[in-house]
Structure 1
C-alpha cells in the first residue's frame, strides 16, 4: 500500500472475502508492527501532558501537522500515519483505550465504525462548524465530518482529444479506442464510484447498476489496459500512452499543476463526492478537545490552507481560494453528488465480482 493513498473501499473488498476473525488477526499483526516503531514517541508525548492523537493518510497529508496541528491552540496534537482499515481494527481491539482519539477515515469505514459503536456522534451544540458543511460532508448519523472532499473525475490530454470531455459517456467516444485506461482490482473504491457515476449518466443510480456494467462490457475492446495503482494511470497519461482515464480529483490537480496539457472533465452529470472524515473514537479520553479540534478544522482559514495544499474541495461553504488553486480542484461543490454509501456497502462485493469477471477478464 502506497503512503498517502487512502484505499477507498479496498479494505472492504478484502473483508468481504475473509472471515472477520481472519481479517482482525491480520490487521492487528500489521498494527503491532506499526505501533512498535512509534511506541516510545507516543508514550513520551502522553507523559508531557494532554495530547490529542490524530491520524492522517501519509504522503501529502503529512502537511496536516503544520496546516492544522501546529495552529490548534486548545491542546497539543500528535499526528500518526495510518489507514482506515487498521484504525477500525485497532478501535475494535481497544474500544475503551483506543490508540487514536481521532481517525481520518474514508466514508465506508466511518459508517462501519459507527455501526460497531466505536464513534462519538457530532452535535451542532458541541461542533457548530457542522452547520457550514456542504451536502454530503457530514457522515450519516453525524458519525464524522469531512476534513475535505475528494472525488472521482476524468483526466485527459487536451492536446489529443477532438473536443473537451463533458460527460461520463464521453469515455465511449470511438476516438479513445486503445487510448483509455480503467481501474482494476484491488481499486474497489474507484471501480464502485465509476459504476455509480456512469449509472447516473444513463438515468440510473446505486439501485440500477446492471445497465452500466453492460455498457462497460461494450467498452472492453477500447481499453488499452486496466490499472491497479492510481499512480500508474497518471504516469501513462503523462507519457502519452493513453489520453483519458478516470482518476481521483486531488491526483488530477497535482498532475495539472505540473503538466498544463492535462485537463479535468467534471462531467455534467456530476462527480461523486468522496469525503475524508475526521471521526472521534468513543473511547477517547479527550472528548472535549477532540470536538474543539474538529470544529477548528471546519473554519474557513483552515479549509483554505488544507485545500490549497492537498488540492481538495472545501468541506464547508464560504471558503475563499486563490484563482490558481480553484483551477486545480472541483471548486464548485454543486458539481458533486453524494453517493448512497450505506447502500453501496451492501452491494459492492457483487459489483466488484462482476467487474472482475465480465469487464477486467
Structure 2
C-alpha cells in the first residue's frame, strides 16, 4: 500500500488496481457560546488549524444546553464553560481528567487559574469578575458596596442576573452578607434580604445583550454584572462606570475541559495549551478577555474593567460553586417565591 497525494495519481492508481490509503483529516469539535465569532476565527481557530493540520468544528449554545448535549451525546473534544457549570459537569462525570504534562503553558498561568476546580480538571483561560455597573450620569452618590443595590432611590431601576445564570445564585450569597448571615447556613435570612431587594429590581436578565438593552433605554441604571458585558454597556451608555466595591468582586473563571467521550483528546490538550499561550491570550484582550497568562503585558488604556495582573486577580473572591450546586434546588424554589410572584 502507498499514500497517493493527488487526485490525478489517485485516479491512475485506482485504474491500475492499486490499493490506496487516504489520510483522513482530523477534526476537533469545540463547544462554546458563539460570542465574537469573527475574532475567535482570526485569533484562535484558523491559526490552530494551520498548526495542527486539522479541522476545527464549532458547536454553539448556552452553558446548560451544551453541557446536556455533552452528557447525552458525547463527541465534544473541548468545552468552553463557566466555573458554575464546570462543577455541574464534574458532578455529572462528563469531563476527562486533564494530563497537565501535555499543557506546558500552564507554567505561565497565574496559580489561581491553573486548577480552579481541582487538578483533575481544566484550567481557566480568562479571569472574569462579577460586580456592579451604574450610569454615573443618573446616580448622584457613587456606588461603593454591594449593599448599595438596596438603596431606596434605586426602586425599579436595578437589574440582577436570573437564577439559572452563572452568577444568579451569587446574588443570594450577597443578600445574606448584606443581612449579616451566611446564605449556606441561614437561607431564610438570606432570601428575606433578597426579598427586600425585589422592589428595586426592574428585571432579572438572562443574557448580556438583554442587559445592554435595559441600560441603553434607561430602564435600568444599576446592575449586578459580569465584566464581559462591560464593553457593550460602555458603548451604549458612555457614562457607565464600574463600581469599586468595598467587599470585593467575585471571580468568575471560564474554563476549558475535555470531554470524557472526546474523539481526539490529544488534539484537545494541544488546543488548550495553545489557548493559554501568551500570543493568543494577548489577542483576546481586544474582545475584553482578561488574560491569565502572566507574561501578557498591557498598556493602561487596554485594561478597562478587566481584572488584570497578579494583584487585581489575587483580590477577587472565589465563589464556592460546589456548595451552591448542593443547594440549587432549594435556592431556586426560594428565588421563585421572591421573583416569581
Q: Is the CA contact 2:162–2:204 (under 8 Å) kept in the aligned structure 1?
A: yes
Give the whole-Å Cα distance in 1 for the aligned partners of 2:276 and 2:128. Answer: 16
Tell me what 1:125 maps to: 101
Asked if 1:237 is matched to 2:232, the reply is no
Contact preservation (8 Å) 2:75, 2:263: no
Give the corresponding residue for 1:102.
78
Q: Is the 2:76–2:261 Cα contact (8 Å) retained in structure 1? A: no
Higher mean C-alpha displacement, 344-353 vs 240-249: 240-249
How far, CA to CA, are the matches of 2:273 and 2:82 in structure 1?
A: 19
Would you say the 8 A contact 1:196–1:206 is kept in 2? yes
Change (3 A) 1:102 1:261: same
TM-score, normalisation: structure 1: 0.76
1:56 match: 32
Matched, 1:156 2:130: no
Superposition deviation, residue 346 in structure 1: 0.9
Describe the SS at the equivalent of 2:241: strand
Give 1:261 shift.
Answer: 0.5
Partner of 1:338: 318
C-alpha deviation, 1:205, in angstroms: 4.9
For residue 345 of structure 1, report the CA deviation from its aligned partner. 0.7
Alpha-carbon offset, residue 285 of structure 1: 3.5
Q: Find the residue that maps to 1:267 and give its secondary structure.
A: coil
CA RMSD of aligned residues (A): 2.7
1:182 matches 2:128:
no
Verify the 8 A CA contact 1:67 1:306 in the aligned structure 2: yes
Unaligned ranges ≥5, structure 1: 1-45
Deviations, residues 59-97 of structure 1 (Å, cap 9, x unaligned): 325532221122222342414132343443343344xxx
Alpha carbons of structure 1 residues 109 and 312: separation in structure 2 relative to 1, 3 Å: same
4+ residue stretches of structure 1 with deviation over 4 A?
A: 200-206
Equivalent position of 2:198 in the other structure: 220
Superposition deviation, residue 250 in structure 1: 0.8
Distance 2:167 2:78 in 1: 25
1:168 Cα shift?
0.5
Displacement after TM superposition at 1:171 (Å)? 0.9
Q: Normalising to structure 2: TM-score of the pair? A: 0.80
Deviates more, 1:294-303 or 1:125-134: 125-134
Partner of 1:282: 260
Kindly indicate whether residue 273 of structure 2 is the aligned counterpart of residue 324 of structure 1: no
> Relative to 1, partners in 2 of residues 1:109 and 1:223: Cα closer, same or farther, differing over 3 Å?
closer
Give, in whole Å, the separation in 2 of the partners of 1:149 and 1:158. Answer: 26
Q: 1:88 to 1:176 in 2, by over 3 A?
A: closer
Greater share of residues in helix: 1
Deviation sequence 1:322-352 (CA, Å, 0-9, x none): 3233113233223422111111111122112
Choose the corresponding residue for 1:264, options 229, 236, 242.
242
Report if the CA contact (8 A) 2:178-2:193 is conserved: no
1:354 aligns with 2:334: yes
Q: In 1, Cα distance between the equivalents of 2:93 and 2:203?
A: 42
**Alpha-carbon offset, residue 264 of structure 1:** 1.3
Partner secondary structure for residue 101 of structure 2? coil
C-alpha separation in 2, matches of 1:79 and 1:166: 44
DSSP 3-state at the match of 2:102? coil
Say which one has the larger Rg: 2
